[in-house]
Amino acid sequence: MTLLPSRLSLNTVTVREQWSLEQCIDGCIRHGFGGIAPWRHDLHDCGIDTAAKLIRESGLKVSGLIRGGFFTADGLTVSDAVIDDNKRAVDEALAIGADCLVMVVGGLAKDTKDLHGARMAVAHGLHELMIYARPAGMPIAIEPLHPMYAADRGCINTMRQVNELCDELGPGVGAAVDVYHTWWDPNLEREIEAAGPNRLMAFHVCDWLVPTRDLLLDRGMMGDGVIDLSLIRSYVEAQGYTGLIEVEIFSRDNWWRKDPDDVLETVIRRAKEFV
Ligand code: ZN
């Protein structure tokens, strides 16, 4: 089905080098986007109350707040500081009316090689967070990251792991499915099906460039890479996902250098053609 701009949400990282949050909101409205997905530092730069007011008045939906997590930042025992910061992230997500708070869970603890321990710490941190987030009514969306980030960003790397965590943690927690992180997974369709509608909380698109020149900052515009985007969209929509399709492109050497209005026009055109 052809994607209208009203189905799209702009993850503000896509024009991070060009626009402030205020400019992103204006840009989304100008181009007819249905939603926006800000980062916490956007809210802090703008002031949370001001950001919440601007977003509310814009009529844009918020497909997610990026991001909580990093449970292993202070070691394999999740610190109070980390939990408190995640609770603040929940409060901020509530303030802006976000559909979910996206979790980048954290990688190995500093100076360790204990991947299993890191995963145990993440499960523990999420458990602690859910005690706060569940009664507050803020859905927590775990974003499985591509395994190349297991050491430094996220040690939850597949939808299978997310489903297992969700089974442990109970309601209110689900997945943010980002094609960049999940496209390679031979079990993707099966695990998206296992997640089902309640756990599919966000869907992020961009493309995988060949070659990829930077592990973090060289994501492609939809259509410039090798991901079968419409196929993965069909997996999530087969489960009843009707939420926004969030465009999230980290691109230091290309899209961050372009006129942001051109970037948004390109996003709309490519989403229609390739997603
Ligand atoms: Zn993402």
Give the pLDDT band of residue 2 (cuts 50, 70, 90). confident
Phi-psi region of 201 (alpha: psi -120 to 50; beta: other; left: phi over 0): alpha
Q: Which runs of consecutive H residues, i.e. helices, occur in the chain?
A: 21-31, 40-46, 48-58, 80-95, 115-136, 159-169, 179-182, 188-199, 229-238, 260-274
> Contact 21/42 with Cβ under 8 angstroms?
yes
Cα of 142 vs centre of ligand 1, distance in Å, is: 10
Percent over 90 (pLDDT), the chain: 99
Instruction: Please give the pLDDT value at position 145.
Output: 98
Domains of the chain, start order: 5-274 (3.20.20.150)
3-state secondary structure (DSSP) of residue 158:
coil
pLDDT in tens, 188-233: 999 999 999 999 999 999 999 999 999 999 999 999 999 999 999 9
pLDDT in tens, 135-183: 999 999 999 999 999 999 999 999 999 999 999 999 999 999 999 999 9
Residue 72 pLDDT greater than 90, yes or no: yes
Cα of 231 vs centre of ligand 1, distance in Å, is: 18
pTM (two decimals): 0.98
Cα of 188 vs centre of ligand 1, distance in Å, is: 16
Cα of 248 vs centre of ligand 1, distance in Å, is: 6
Residue 1 pLDDT greater than 80, yes or no: no
> Contact 208/181 with Cβ under 8 angstroms?
no
